[in-house]
Each structure stands twice: as structure tokens, then as C-alpha cells.
Amino acid sequence: MKKILLIGLLLLTGTIVAQEADYNKWSIELQGGASKATRPFTPGYVADEATFFQGSVGARYMFNNKFGVKLDFGYNNIENDNDSNLEFKNNYYRGSIQGVANLGTILDFNTFTDWFTILGHGGFGYSSAKADDINFGADEDDAMFHAILGVTPQFKLSERVTFTTDLSIIGHVGQDVTWDGQSSVRSIAGDNAARGFNSMLVNVSAGISINLGSASTHADWYYEADALEEEMDSLRMRIAKIENDMIDDDKDGVPNYLDQDNRTESGVAVNTRGQAIDLNKNGIPDEMESALDARYLKTGSETTVNGDDVIAELIDKGYVNVYFKFNSEEPSVYSLEAINYLVKYMNANTDANATLVGYADEIGNEAYNQKLSEQRAQKINDILVASGVSASRLTVKGGGEDNSVDKSSKYARQLMRRVTFKLN
């Protein structure tokens, strides 16, 4: 009953933790690239080609892993191209507030990728354009309102940095002066055409997004289903460890995790550490002495089992492994005991060497998984060295993808994300 209550408490705690989103919400965005002004222009002034430079800087806040808002400021350099007989230059500035939708989360991109998503964004703002040379009676600064709509493909480089590209279309309301600064919009397009969205800009950009916050991931890359499954995997492992710890192999009433001698004979009285009571310190449990012949005690030999041999056998047969979370080189907390087994063995057997073999599951690029498997093995190597094991006694090897299980099973894949040990 106690075990059932404990398991229920762990599951309830895991569910509550999973429901409380643990991800960063703020990011800083920096972008730059080319732009194309489509209209309006005075006849003879041509800008059919995209021109450099345009750039923007902004701050984005995600309310959750699907929707957010951002404030950004941009600059465009609009000038003639080589086909224009007349030269001009216009400096354009804008400030925009926009809503953001993470299309990757909404459309469940996580079913096939964990490094790519697309943000959709749109909003409105205020703009100002100033041509270098205005030759008619107009204000130097042409103020207008604008609406902006765009898409931003994102490529995850790390938990902190994302590479971004962007395509945005900006439509303006109330522009009075052509981009070249030589005419009024009404004189070129007429009064009716000058109303509504009477000018357009198209921006193509590339840049980076820097994620801010103390959590391990950002809202852009957070998926509730994956987070819940990861938490449940962790709980299953913890429950399995509890069940394993409670096993009492020698049936002496002391569970294995407390038992300092897990090979005591059945029926022999033991202390709280699972050690047979031997008050006269002769190596024979007191309860067995009366049943042994005195001649045997004098001439017989005591057979013992070497504990290090047992540990070595468990290690070599793959029972001692370090497991990892998805796409991570940090070992799971519940796996640290496996590292401790190897540290103790290596310290007790100073002539022993070990090969650390890392593995990854089949999800993702094969070359990337090969590198990840090597990084996992190297991480365990670093922990062992920090624990006092000489680096010269350790060999690091990346085993790449372990395809021995059905990759559609998330539970089976968890067992493949590991580092195993070979003694030599």
C-alpha cells in the first residue's frame, strides 16, 4: 500500500510540474538585408532592383508557446538602381507593434523536427521617409502609418541563439511624397489612387534571435506533449529505481540499497546494514557456528565471492548505463549512480581501463547523431576525470545511432540515448 501511495504521489507531482510551463518568453531580434520599394515613383526614376541596406532590431515576448507580441524598429535605404537615368536616395524609418504566432507549434512541427519552426507576424505602426532632394513645396519628413505582414523561418543553433530569415511586406497609408522625392503622390497617381495603401515596401532579411531567461529552453521550441512525456519518462525511471532499491536479494529484511552485504546466508541474523552478526569476528555468522564441525573449521577453506568481479560483470554485460534526455549531452540525474559504480570500480582496480561508448536514437540527422553520441561519451569522461579517474585510463568512442529498437516508440528510444562501459 505504501508503494502504491508513493507512486501515485510521484505521478501527481509530475503532472502538476508538467502543467507549469518552464520556458523563457523574452528574446531580442536583430535582422538585416535587402528591400524593394514597389511604388510610387516619379517617371524617369527607377528602382526595379532590390537595394541594400535595410535592418531592424526588436524585442519579442511570448505569452505561451503559440502566441506573442513584439515591438521593433527598422531602417530602409531606398535609392535608384543602374537602370535609372536620375539619381535619388531616401532614408526610411519605422516603428511597429506586431502580434506573433508560432506556426511550428500550432501545426505540430515537433513530430518531424526539433530545430526548425516558422513564426508568422503582423501589425501596424508609424513611418517617416525623407528623400535627400525634394524639389517641390513639401515637408522634408513624410509621415505615414503602415501595416506590416510577414513570415520568419527559424533555425535553432542552440538553446540561446536562433538563426532567422524573414520576408515582410509593408503597406503605407497617407504617403504624400514619392520615394524619389521629386513629386507628390497625388500628382503621379491621382486623388483616388493616392488614398488607402498608396505605397509598398518588401523586405528580405536574415539575422539572429537571442533568447533571454533562466529556463533551459524558449517558448519557440517548447512542446507540451514532449515535456509531459519527458517528465513521465523521468518518473517511470525514478519509480523503477525505487522498486529496484527495495529488492532484497538475500531475503534478510534489509533492502539492497541499504544492504552492505547482499550475500548473507538465508536465515542468518543481520544488523541494520544487512551484515551477518559475527560477535567473535572469526568470519563465520554466529548462528552457523553451532552447525559446523570443529574439524571442518580447522581444515576447511572459506569460499568468498569477489565483489569487484560482480561489478565488473554487470558493467561488461551492459547493465550499468548512463541515460540522457532527448537531444542533450547532460546525463539524467537518476543515471549518476551508474557513474558512481564505475568510479568505485576504477578506484579499487587501479590497473583497469574503460572504454566509454556513447549512443543516440534514430531521430534526426545521422551525422548530427554521431557527433551527439561522441559528446555524450566525452561528457561522462569529463565527470569521471573530475571524480579522480585518470584520463589515460579512459577511451571515448561515439557509437552513433542505435537502431536496434523501433524508432517510432518513444519509450524504446529513451533506452538508446545512453553511454555504456567496456572494461579492458
What single string gives the DSSP state of each residue in 12-59?
HHHHHHHHS---B-EEEEEEEEEEEEEE---TT----S-EEEEEEEEE
**pLDDT per residue of the chain (424 residues) written in tens, 0 to 9:** 444 444 444 444 444 333 445 899 999 999 999 999 988 888 888 787 888 889 999 999 999 999 999 999 999 999 888 777 788 889 999 999 999 999 999 998 988 998 999 999 999 999 999 988 776 655 678 899 999 999 999 999 999 999 999 999 999 998 888 888 888 888 877 766 566 788 899 999 999 999 999 998 999 998 875 555 666 677 777 777 777 777 776 666 677 767 766 655 555 566 766 676 666 665 555 555 444 333 333 333 343 445 567 777 778 777 788 888 888 888 876 677 788 888 888 888 888 899 999 999 888 888 999 999 999 999 999 988 988 899 999 999 999 988 877 777 777 788 888 999 888 8
Sign of CA dihedral 411, 416, 418, 424: positive
Q: Which domains does the chain have, with CATH numbers?
A: 22-221 (2.40.160.20), 253-303 (no CATH), 305-424 (3.30.1330.60)
What's the predicted TM-score (pTM) here? Answer: 0.51
| DSSP conformation letters of 120-171 | EEEEEEEEEEEES---SS--SSEEEEEEEEEEEEEEESSSSEEEEEEEEEEE
Q: What is the pLDDT of residue 152?
A: 98
- The order of strands in the sheet holding 394-401 is 321-323, 418-423, 354-360, 394-401
Q: What is the pLDDT of residue 164?
A: 98
Q: What is the pLDDT of residue 419?
A: 92
Q: What is the DSSP letter of 330?
A: S
CA distance 269 to 250: 12
Pairing, β 142-156 against β 51-62: unpaired
CA distance 150 to 170: 9
